[in-house]
């Protein structure tokens, strides 16, 4: 086999592994992360994944930062994220203090 055909052989091998799924099914990472991280915070702080209009007395908010971190913040900061005045994504509104 000529050296210049090695890249083509590698490409064919990588495509074959990619198309066959690599031999194992991917783990449901999204569901696991939600169950391990988000759900406990929702329960602990009385949070609901709704907007501010649906909660009578918001005390805190769960926000995903632009870097992907999940943080519990004050209701004022959560409202600013919800209104687009601060970066991030509102995940839930909470009825208990952080």
Q: Is residue 45 part of a domain?
A: no
**What digits encode the pLDDT tens for the residues 50-96?**
877 777 889 999 999 999 999 999 999 999 999 999 999 999 999 88
Query: The tokens 């971190």 sit on which residue?
Result: 69
pLDDT-based confidence at residue 27 (cuts at 50, 70, 90): low
Q: How far apart are the first and last CA of the chain?
A: 65
Tally of structural domains, the chain: 1
* pLDDT over 80 (residue 17): no
Q: Is residue 43 part of a domain?
A: no
Q: Residue 64's beta-bridge partner residues? A: 70, 89
Q: Is residue 87 part of a domain?
A: yes
Q: Is residue 37 part of a domain?
A: no
Element (H, E) at 6: helix 6-20
Give the residue with greater pLDDT, 18 vs 58: 58
For residues 14 and 8, give the distance between their C-alpha atoms in angstroms, rounded to a whole number.
10
For residue 94, the enclosing domain spans 52-98
Residues of the chain with pLDDT > 70, as a percent, come to 68
Give the residue with greater pLDDT, 36 vs 46: 46
- The CA distances from residue 11 to 7, 8, 15, 23, in Å, are 6, 5, 6, 18
């Amino acid at each position: 086999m000529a050296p210049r055909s090695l890249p083509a052989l590698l490409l064919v091998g990588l495509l074959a592994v990619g198309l066959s799924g690599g031999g194992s099914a991917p783990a449901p990472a999204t569901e696991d992360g939600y169950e391990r991280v988000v759900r406990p915070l929702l329960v602990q702080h009385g949070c609901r994944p709704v907007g501010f209009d649906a909660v009578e007395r918001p005390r805190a908010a769960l926000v995903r930062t632009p870097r992907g971190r999940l943080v519990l913040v004050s209701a004022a900061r959560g409202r600013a994220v919800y209104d687009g005045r601060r970066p991030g994504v509102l995940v839930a509104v909470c009825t208990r203090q952080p």
